[in-house]
Amino acid sequence: GAGVSQTPSNKVTEKGKYVELRCDPISGHTALYWYRQSLGQGPEFLIYFQGTGAADDSGLPNDRFFAVRPEGSVSTLKIQRTERGDSAVYLCASSSPQPPEKLFFGSGTQLSVL
């Protein structure tokens, strides 16, 4: 597509529930990133994919968080047993293959855990 698409734009869930957040990157971008942003803070790195594999998942806060990108395009961030502290905007970005490797962000998913 023309830009990075994220769905849903808003997700309200109850503590303990499971959620999936979807990201459709720019066509041809092999690198895909997930970030989390809390109010008044900069984006916090979660995980980076190069193609289908998770090249770096060191930012995932714990084992309740998992992400996949099975065909090297669309990615899904999965959060199990959600907690109130998971509430944030989850941003997905893909990066241009040629330098500068600037990030193109989606509009984000606002996750609210009640």
Partner 1 sequence: GQNIDQPTEMTATEGAIVQINCTYQTSGFNGLFWYQQHAGEAPTFLSYNVLDGLEEKGRFSSFLSRSKGYSYLLLKELQMKDSASYLCAVLNFNKFYFGSGTKLNVKP
Q: How far is C-alpha 6 from the chain's CA centre?
A: 9
Site for partner 1 contains 45 (CB under 8 A)? yes
Residue 77 touching partner 1 (CB under 8 A): no
Beta bridge partners of 95: 31, 103
Residue of 30, 31, 68, 76 interacting with partner 1 (CB under 8 A): 31
**What is the bridge-based pairing of β-strands 44-50 and 10-13?**
unpaired
Q: How far is the CB of 21 from partner 1 (least distance, A)?
A: 14
Q: Which residues contact 71 (CB under 8 A, 6 or more apart)?
A: 52
User: What is the smallest separation between the CB atom of 100 and partner 1, expressed in angstroms?
Assistant: 4
Could you tell me the smallest distance in angstroms from the CB atom of residue 18 to partner 1? Answer: 25
